Structure 1
Amino acid sequence: MPLVSGHDVIQHCTARGLVAGAFNTTNIETTMGIIDAVEKVGVPTFIQVAPTNVKLSGYEYVYDMVARRLADTTVPVALHLDHGKSLAAVEAALAADFTSIMIDASEEPLAENTAISATARRMCGASIALEAELGSIGGKEDDVAPEFASTTDPAQVSDFAAAVGCDMLAVSVGNVHGYAPNARIDFDLLERVRAASSVPLVIHGGSGLPEEQLGRLADFGVVKVNVASDLRNAMIRSFGEAYAANPNENSLIRVSLDAVAAISEVVERRIRMLNPSL
């Protein structure tokens, strides 16, 4: 199946009461592992990449890699720009035919965040789903951390979503980027944000949240949960274990295939945590 718009993933998930995993790729092994798991479980999914992870390949290579692997897949998958911190990043991802976009101006004052995000909305047009962020999520994403982290203010949610015209809203409600095992969702805050929002919500930092919390998110208007650190750790660990077992190992393809399997296992486990009814 060709890549679909983020709109399609949102619609499939909301119609079935599912939460889409949003899994960050960096290379072919990660991409193969993600899609292997998605095919097995059958839940519509976002595959995404942040600007910090296209330094080696560029957006076009990521598009080509993902689209080729999806050609024989029947599960709807969108290719998403994660944490587009600038309109230039949005423009580059759109030029490479990404089908879903995140604009992240959350560290800017509210008025500027609104204006930048609304500009991204116009750039995307109606066919490309847009995610915006309100409140600045803490922790590190690829060793990049916000200068100031702040929770989402429910009183700002309705006006922000309406002014931007976003299709998804990333929120800061106790979730933390990176692997943060002590992170916990503030469900009272999340409920107030959900009540104020006209669009589905997005939770970043899925790698550090406990299974019990992940399994509750669908009840709070969450349609997308980002997972990155778990996948990267699985690949690095797989290569590290191979070297530790045999410092003279020279079969790169065997070690790479082991990494694909390790990533696939992590992705499948996270999808099932997000959707306990599967």
Structure 2
Amino acid sequence: MPLVNGFDLIDIIKEEHVVAGAFNTTNLETTIGILQAVEKSRIPAFIQIAPTNIPVSGYGFIADMVNRYAAEMDTPVALHLDHGKSFDSVRQAARAGFTSVMTDNAKYDYEENVQHTYEAVQFAKGYGIPVEAELGAIAGKEDDIVTEGNSKTDPKQVLDFVERTGVNMLAVAVGNVHGLNLDPNIDFPLLKQIQDICPVPLVLHGASGIPDEQISQMVDNGVIKINVASDLRQAFIQSAGKDYEADPERFDIVNVSLNAEKAVEEVVYHKIQVMNRNSPTPVR
């Protein structure tokens, strides 16, 4: 089916009471590996890309790749902009055909975050697509961007932030971290407190490093979207590295690429299984 509008995907996720994985891509092989796993799982998902990865493919090319593959799928998929740290990145993604966007203004103080997020939401209304924003600062390394501090989401700000910005999904900082080398520990009492207050669905970033037993609890804590990036990139690079180590003289890039694609698919499928272990229709 064609790419699904993010609003429609949110409705499907809620109706089925599942968690959608949001898997970061960079190139064709990663894209196909992700979408093969999504189709196998039959669980709706977001495929996404951050502006830091755009130089490899461009907004238009990534939209064409995802849309072409999704057209042959039966499982709903939305194309999402991850960590749009500038208004221009949000604008370019929307114009390229992305069906959902994130505006990431967590580096600003609260009032500036509200203002920049509001501007992105108003712009996205012209394209009829939802906007995700971040409240609190998630520590760790996302691509080449390092956030030193981890400022958890303040529940007292949640309702005001959502009402003033009009944002449609809220990414929260509840002990989650970007990357693989830190020690995440989800603060479930805080997450529950935010769930009870927040009028929009919650998003969890940094799932690559979170233990499976914590990930599987998100479906009952208001989280509808969980981001996974580092695990996929590591699987891709390790697969290519193993092929090189096995034969430094090889030049069959097709098989190297197919092996990397398969490695990504396996990680994505496992993550979808874990996310929906406690859902009414767990992935088999």
Pick the TM interval, shorter chain: over 0.9
Question: Within 2, Cα distance between the matches of 1:204 and 1:23?
Answer: 11
SS in 2 for 1:140: strand
Q: How does 1:217-228 map to 2 (within 5 A)?
A: 217-228=218-229
- Return the offset for 1:147: 5.2
Name 2:145's counterpart in structure 1.
144
- Return the offset for 1:182: 2.2
Question: Within 2, Cα distance between the matches of 1:130 and 1:237?
Answer: 33
Q: How does 1:241-252 map to 2 (within 5 A)?
A: 241-252=242-253
Question: Within 2, Cα distance between the matches of 1:9 and 1:211?
Answer: 24
C-alpha distance 215-11 of structure 1, shift in aligned 2 (>3 A): same
Return the letter of the residue paired with 1:103: T
Matched, 1:19 2:19: yes
Matched, 1:238 2:239: yes
Matched, 1:67 2:80: no
Return the letter of the residue paired with 2:164: A
Q: Does the 8 A contact of 1:180 with 1:209 survive in 2?
A: no
- Return the offset for 1:178: 1.1
Question: Within 2, Cα distance between the matches of 1:24 and 1:88?
Answer: 20
- Return the offset for 1:9: 1.5
Return the letter of the residue paired with 1:173: V
- Return the offset for 1:181: 5.7
- Return the offset for 1:148: 3.6
Residues 92-147 of structure 1: per-residue CA shift (max 9 Å, x gap): 11111110000000111111100100110011007201101100111010020135
Question: Within 2, Cα distance between the matches of 1:147 and 1:108?
Answer: 14
Name 1:161's counterpart in structure 2.
162
Question: Within 1, Cα distance between the matches of 2:183 and 2:152?
Answer: 17
Q: How does 1:6-85 map to 2 (within 5 A)?
A: 6-85=6-85
Name 1:113's counterpart in structure 2.
113
Name 1:101's counterpart in structure 2.
101
- Return the offset for 1:75: 0.8
Return the letter of the residue paired with 2:215: L
Return the letter of the residue paired with 2:95: A
Matched, 1:92 2:92: yes
Name 2:276's counterpart in structure 1.
275
Q: Does the 8 A contact of 2:26 with 2:56 survive in 1?
A: no
Runs of 4+ in 1 over 2 A off after TM superposition: 146-149
Return the letter of the residue paired with 2:55: K
Question: Within 1, Cα distance between the matches of 2:227 and 2:131?
Answer: 15
SS in 2 for 1:18: coil
SS in 2 for 1:111: helix
Moved more, 172-181 or 252-261: 172-181
Return the letter of the residue paired with 1:154: P
TM-score by length of 2: 0.96
Q: Does the 8 A contact of 1:8 with 1:76 survive in 2?
A: no
Return the letter of the residue paired with 1:156: Q
Q: Does the 8 A contact of 1:175 with 1:184 survive in 2?
A: yes
Name 1:266's counterpart in structure 2.
267
Q: Does the 8 A contact of 1:107 with 1:148 survive in 2?
A: no
- Return the offset for 1:206: 0.6
Q: Does the 8 A contact of 2:85 with 2:103 survive in 1?
A: yes
Identity, % of aligned pairs?
50
Moved more, 55-64 or 132-141: 55-64
- Return the offset for 1:6: 1.1
C-alpha distance 180-196 of structure 1, shift in aligned 2 (>3 A): farther
Q: Does the 8 A contact of 2:4 with 2:99 survive in 1?
A: yes
Q: Does the 8 A contact of 1:181 with 1:209 survive in 2?
A: no
